[in-house]
Every structure is written in C-alpha cells, then in structure tokens.
Amino acid sequence: MTCKKENPKHEAQSPDVRSRIPNVFLFLMLTSLLLISGCRINYTFTGASVSPDVKTYSVDFFPNNAPLFQPTLSQTFTEGLRDKIMSQSRLNLVNSGGDLQFEGEITGYSSSPISVQS
C-alpha cells in the first residue's frame, strides 16, 4: 500500500489566480507610464538683459556628475538650454567660442512624485 501526500507548493495555480496576473501586470504598466509621462524639465529666463554688442552664444556639454544617474539627463539639459536661448533671444548659436559661453556640470537633481488632479 502506497501513501501519497499532496504538496501544496507543487499544485498548479488556480484559474482565478492565473486570470488576475495579466490584470495586475497591465495595471503596473499603466501606472509606470503615467509616472514617466509626468516627468519634464522646465527652464525659465526672465529679467536678464544682453548687451547689444553680444551676437553669438555657445553651450558646452553639461556632464552629469550627480549621485543619482539618469543616462539622458546631460543630453536633454544641454539641448534644452541651447533651444531655449535660441527661441527667446536674438543670439546666434555657434559650436564654440561664442560671445556668451555656457558651461557647467550637473551635480545633483531630485525627483518627486506628482499626482494627476482633475
């Protein structure tokens, strides 16, 4: 006579549990997408006056030396700064040696959650 013990660890998952897994996965993906789409960078330049003899500007690459590393932050910031100055001033962008030169590094940044409000 053989005695067979059932091991609950080896039992197949019930159909109810298997049907919930895609829903949980979908919920997590949608939540992640909402959080990511809420991230943005805003630059504002107000109150500055530029001498009339200044005609050009250059923006050097801003390396990311922050403790929290986000791979595209340096490129995004550098391009955003170039575009913002170009769209809000009369200055012409040059690759290097502009009348105004912007250079620096990113030493820190923070990220905080935001909630969608109606």
pLDDT in tens, 33-43: 666 655 555 55
Q: In Å, what is the CA distance from 51 to each residue of 24, 46, 48, 64?
A: 58, 15, 10, 31
Q: Does residue 117 or residue 62 have the better pLDDT?
A: 62
Q: Which residues contact 116 (CB under 8 A, 6 or more apart)?
A: 34, 38
| pLDDT band for position 59 (cuts 50, 70, 90) | very high
| Separation of alpha carbons 19 and 21, rounded Å | 6
Is 52 a residue whose pLDDT tops 60?
Answer: yes
Distance CA 105, CA 107 (A): 6
DSSP 4: -
pLDDT tier, 51 (very low <50, low <70, confident <90, very high otherwise): confident
